[in-house]
Structure 1
């Protein structure tokens, strides 16, 4: 809320008094029409305005207590009784009611609605038979053409100023008022004229601002409930509504929806001070909030028929839809552009080592997202300043003050000096602040400079209450002392110490940016966590490798050293056969070391496996197994069976290495039976694609089921392997997010299983 608005809409004596004024219970009606309140049960007249004798020739006391159908015979009675069956939304209004007045038939427009236990009947626009019998269809066509034509013209426009000019021009031409304005309420509830049509000789009001107190909250609520308000003559003293007895008189009659409802003295005085003789207001309601008014002013009295008022009310409702659509289209274009820029910035940040570096690289589009001129980025323990900002120490102080005194993850200020008077020293360049705070403690501050604005008010907005007349005592109530300002001479005010307000659109973009960066920060945190887990796992593996290398490679080295010593002795003694035997054993030990080193190198490269995954069809896997192992098994006398296999989302090379290790082990260790057999099969489960390689060899004890997947561990003491093959299988499957395990028992063969997540296939 801006500085001037704070002064204008604060809890002043005037606005508080206006908000308490019971304007729907004034107990009077405008005297150009007649109001009757009927008991909803028996249609007895329980209240009537005291101008009945002038309008229909019957005194109020002769009407009160009477049954309305008995007083008004014929068509009046039939019409009232028929419309009582459906009073919703005044769908039957206006009624054409012919009443005999002093021997002459007079036609009235009747307006009927219900409030509490009463049916309100209002009569207005009396005319004799000669004027009343013009073809109604032609009148309706005129009103329809007005609404249709105006909407057609407005539909071609997207600029709000152009829409305002078109609407005011059309309404003025249709209603005959001297001046018609489109009046919009700002976020701080003060109003501004954004469209106007008037005669050249009248002073222009276009662009003028009006304080929020000019339309008190009580009046705003009524504007939202009753969408059109006509005041025919501001000099009309009104006609009191009298009751049939004291019991009725003690209960105020709610005239919120009465078209004849009289006007509060405060508002009458306000209109007189503006030299207005008659007025009509068409409410523009958006989402339950009073967005604005189409305000019509006339220099003298002015009556508008119910049909024309209904057409204006309809136009207001539909035009509000057009205005909303225009505002939404503008907002959507801005939102789409901001979303596209936000996506580019976040995408760039996702590929950089530092999010802050990406924001610096995209400084201009980053600042333009919320129309800022500077920003301070506190992310990842570093601070980066972009554009025009205060010094770093002052930026840090601002952030501290916001965290201490302003709630919410996103907050906005138009005047940074509100946080601390010391901040006014740099408010010229950094006056407005939009702060985004993330759940992890990081933050981004956007800055805007001071913007000096000249606002033209219709009169001095700070003189809301005029001096009280001497006749008013100090003991009188605030309502007795109400007196609106009487000068509407243009009052120009320069507003300093504030930035351009942060709009709802700015906040929406900030929320999008915040959630996008927060998501990126979350992914970064997950990546760091995963990396830390991988580092721990790698450290464990390195520890195991060091222990395994020191143990398993040390054996061949000891063998080599021992036989080298023997060779020296045998060479001195000339035992050449023994020398050759020692050389052979040294060569075998070296070969064993070479295989172990190759397996270690192969294992170290497993980090690259599973980085390029795709759908691998089951037929492709089956063909690989048969092409590689069918002839080899035939030569060894091993029966190879390969079942139908399901597809997997995997790195094909990694999958093949798993099969090579498992089938290779089966051929080495599972062929000791008389009829050796190796089976490759699989199945597709609910959450994973499973495969297995089984043999009918010696089997593995249950205590060794997990150990065989560790470095340099073998399931058979007489095997020739390095002890790295099954560790590689488990590592490859871990990289795929899958698993590997064995089912076996001594003498029953072994079945090695491996499974890939089914969710990956769906992705």
Structure 2
């Protein structure tokens, strides 16, 4: 096994992975049930109703069975039907069309907000009853979003963006609590922004294990812009018939807002003490960066306009976070390039590359934020700063020779990979090794000292999933009280920009060596 295969360059708490394969294997897209605050229709290419949620009678006053095999045109306003046909003609498969449909049944007309999904084999329509929305006018929506955007633009850091985002979404929606989670590389989520009522639990700064939002659930955020549960206390609604007659399988409800929720998640909400929730993704460069999570102590169903506004706000927040992260990266890159340019000049003007790295206006330690460094070259080992004893460095070089490739190796938890290094964790819990000649054991080594980290978890992550004796059913943890974990044998992690700077330095040093020899 090569050294690169052994490397784990994720965040703090590296020795455990809480992204449960068990939770991630649940086929959420095949949950063939809906929430009752709306109804679902499945239509064929001729717009005949082939499948319908059983709660149709609650919304339209007619038993669900009576709608089957009937054309949609029989129930909806003619002008709306023609407009729908025109829009369907112009849209591609896989797109969603927001619409308004007025149904005529039992001598009454009832207006619905519709979301139409165009699938290859069928048309799927989600319907929620329209209401006389008085809470916000279009002008008020615009003013509040404009104000929120203005506040976000004045922020100076990722943390301040998260704080303002939570405050503005809470003010706009009146949810009791709004949390901004940021995922780490192992999909644990840390709360970096919070706005809440005084009687709600404080989650600011707490970390939640990846199993709370498993892989399958995370993937669904790319199909649906939000996930709404108006009340956890609901009875799921079946589709009639259960099997889609057009596909002869369960209807895929992946991107349906009405899709029912796994029972374990409703139990999770109950354990948290919340009745309603809504979550929106923060997507940056086509990757799920984090989640906006809204909690309410009682049932709450934001209207269609509010949901659209929240979707827009989540996009604006994502853009602001992306811009701030790019700004931080550019700033770091400029700093590293300036130091590298100085170091490069020293390198080529010095008698040896080691002198150029260790002495001058800047040095290797400053470039890569090291607490110590060593160079193993031409049978000698030279050091600077706080380093392991020379004999220990020699043993480390031998280990690198056996396991490393010609690529740069880096880790912020060396004792987890090389147990012998626990003896000098204070000098070298973090290591970056720049190969010069692996076969000869020639490396530039950068060390980082141990940095003890206290991770504040929202409940014990080792008890995030509680399996029943049958090994099939499971329950979420019932406590989110502060659980502190002290992480040992780790250093400050290496940034991608620092590794890139090390690669550039490697090329420069190799060039210097070639000049010295030839």
Normalising by structure 1, we get a TM-score of 0.63
1:486 aligns with 478
Note if 1:503 corresponds to 2:495.
yes
| Aligned-residue offset at 1:80 | 2.9
1:117 aligns with 121
1:7 counterpart SS class: coil
The whole-number CA distance in structure 1 between the counterparts of 2:401 and 2:277 is 50
2:46 aligns with 42
The answer to which of 17-26 and 312-321 deviates more is: 312-321
2:222 counterpart SS class: helix
Q: In 2 relative to 1, CA 350–382 (structure 1 residues): closer, same or farther, beyond 3 Å?
A: farther
- The counterpart of 1:105, out of the listed 86, 100, 109, is 109
The answer to which of 160-169 and 508-517 deviates more is: 508-517
- The counterpart of 2:289, out of the listed 285, 288, 291, is 291
Note if 1:179 corresponds to 2:184.
no
- The counterpart of 2:63, out of the listed 59, 64, 71, is 59
Cα root mean square deviation, aligned: 2.4
Note if 1:33 corresponds to 2:38.
yes
1:437 aligns with 435
| Aligned-residue offset at 1:383 | 2.4
Task: Kindly provide the CA deviation profile for residues 445-482 of structure 1, in whole angstroms up to 9, marking residues without a partner as x.
Answer: 111111111111000001122252xxx6x3xxx5x412
Alignment of 1:50-89 (within 5 A): 50-87=54-91
| Aligned-residue offset at 1:120 | 1.0
1:225 counterpart SS class: coil
Alignment of 1:408-427 (within 5 A): 409-427=407-425
How many residues are paired up?
Answer: 507
Task: Kindly provide the CA deviation profile for residues 25-75 of structure 1, in whole angstroms up to 9, marking residues without a partner as x.
Answer: 101111000110111x21111111110000111211011111111233434
2:5 aligns with none
1:259 aligns with 257
The whole-number CA distance in structure 1 between the counterparts of 2:244 and 2:18 is 40
Q: In 2 relative to 1, CA 365–320 (structure 1 residues): closer, same or farther, beyond 3 Å?
A: farther
The whole-number CA distance in structure 2 between the counterparts of 1:274 and 1:405 is 47
The whole-number CA distance in structure 1 between the counterparts of 2:383 and 2:241 is 73
Note if 1:331 corresponds to 2:329.
yes
| Aligned-residue offset at 1:88 | 5.1
| Aligned-residue offset at 1:139 | 3.3
| Aligned-residue offset at 1:153 | 1.5
Q: Is the 8 A contact 2:427 2:448 kept in 1?
A: yes
The whole-number CA distance in structure 2 between the counterparts of 1:354 and 1:457 is 49
Task: Kindly provide the CA deviation profile for residues 341-398 of structure 1, in whole angstroms up to 9, marking residues without a partner as x.
Answer: 1110110110111111122214864212222100112345542101000111111211
Q: Is the 8 A contact 1:19 1:218 kept in 2?
A: yes
| Aligned-residue offset at 1:519 | 3.3
The whole-number CA distance in structure 1 between the counterparts of 2:214 and 2:173 is 26
2:144 aligns with 146
The answer to which of 501-510 and 279-288 deviates more is: 501-510
1:483 counterpart SS class: strand
| Aligned-residue offset at 1:290 | 0.8
Alignment of 1:172-211 (within 5 A): 172-211=170-209
1:463 aligns with 463
The structure carrying a bigger helix percent of its residues is: 1
| Aligned-residue offset at 1:434 | 1.0
2:415 counterpart SS class: helix
Q: In 2 relative to 1, CA 351–230 (structure 1 residues): closer, same or farther, beyond 3 Å?
A: same
Q: Is the 8 A contact 2:336 2:501 kept in 1?
A: yes
Task: Kindly provide the CA deviation profile for residues 289-312 of structure 1, in whole angstroms up to 9, marking residues without a partner as x.
Answer: 210011111111111122221222
Q: In 2 relative to 1, CA 367–398 (structure 1 residues): closer, same or farther, beyond 3 Å?
A: same
Task: Kindly provide the CA deviation profile for residues 122-164 of structure 1, in whole angstroms up to 9, marking residues without a partner as x.
Answer: 111433xxx26x79xx833333333332222111222111111
Normalising by structure 2, we get a TM-score of 0.92
| Aligned-residue offset at 1:102 | 4.4
Unaligned 5+ runs, structure 2? 1-9
2:397 aligns with 399
1:162 aligns with 160
| Aligned-residue offset at 1:511 | 2.1
Q: In 2 relative to 1, CA 88–140 (structure 1 residues): closer, same or farther, beyond 3 Å?
A: farther
The whole-number CA distance in structure 2 between the counterparts of 1:251 and 1:8 is 34
Q: In 2 relative to 1, CA 185–173 (structure 1 residues): closer, same or farther, beyond 3 Å?
A: same
Task: Kindly provide the CA deviation profile for residues 670-723 of structure 1, in whole angstroms up to 9, marking residues without a partner as x.
Answer: xxxxxxxxxxxxxxxxxxxxxxxxxxxxxxxxxxxxxxxxxxxxxxxxxxxxxx
| Aligned-residue offset at 1:22 | 1.0
Q: In 2 relative to 1, CA 302–202 (structure 1 residues): closer, same or farther, beyond 3 Å?
A: same
Q: Which has the larger radius of gyration?
A: 1
The whole-number CA distance in structure 2 between the counterparts of 1:246 and 1:220 is 26
2:454 counterpart SS class: strand
Q: In 2 relative to 1, CA 197–86 (structure 1 residues): closer, same or farther, beyond 3 Å?
A: farther
The whole-number CA distance in structure 2 between the counterparts of 1:461 and 1:363 is 47
| Aligned-residue offset at 1:249 | 7.9
The whole-number CA distance in structure 2 between the counterparts of 1:271 and 1:370 is 44
Task: Kindly provide the CA deviation profile for residues 244-292 of structure 1, in whole angstroms up to 9, marking residues without a partner as x.
Answer: 8774584111111212111111222112211121111111112222100
Q: In 2 relative to 1, CA 57–456 (structure 1 residues): closer, same or farther, beyond 3 Å?
A: same
